[in-house]
Amino acid sequence: MKVDQIAVFLENKSGRLAEITKVLADNDINIRALSVADTADFGILRVIVNDTDKAKNVLKQNGFTVSVAEVVAVEVADRSGGLSEVLEVISSANINVEYMYAFVQKSGENAVIIFRFDDSDAAVIALKNADIRILSGENIYTI
């Protein structure tokens, strides 16, 4: 129950992010979730799209450095304490969160949190044992 995420390394200069989103749009690739992290010299765009293989290929063809990683998508109630409950499960299982980002679904009833763990397999087991809903790639790609 893991989701493919694309990471694109980009120079920290004006317009570079727009170039990436244009390449994706021109190829009918829909961004479902994203996160941008930057340093003084470069940035990392992390995206979940509706067609990972196609996105990876067209970005590489357009000169971008691209990698694919597996992340875990967790659905939580969009209310105070929703994230805390998930993190308590992860902390109790002694699993490290490398990074995370979130978005709220159109209904506004639930939030989806994308996690990169140091041990994704152990995280999935701990979350399932706590009856926390883990979303598949298909769930995310069609939101």
Question: What per-residue string of b and e applies to 33-45 under the rule 16 or more CB within 10 Å gives b?
Answer: bbbeeeeeeebbb
Beta strand spans in the chain (E):
3-11, 31-38, 42-49, 65-77, 97-104, 110-117, 133-135
Residue range of the domain that includes 44: 3-70
Output the pLDDT for position 41: 79
9: CATH: 3.30.2130.10
pLDDT in tens, 14-34: 888 899 999 999 999 999 999
pLDDT in tens, 74-107: 999 888 898 999 999 999 999 999 999 988 776 5
| Domain stops at, among 70, 97, 129 | 70
pLDDT class for 137, splitting at 50, 70, 90?
confident
Q: How many helices (H) and strands (E) would you count in the chain?
A: 5, 7
Query: Does residue 130 sit in the same domain as residue 76?
Result: yes
pLDDT at 108 over 70: no
In sequence order, what are the beta bridge partners of 48?
33
The residue type found at 56 is K
Query: Does residue 60 sit in the same domain as residue 75?
Result: no
pLDDT class for 38, splitting at 50, 70, 90?
confident
Query: Does residue 78 sit in the same domain as residue 65?
Result: no
Query: Does residue 76 sit in the same domain as residue 134?
Result: yes
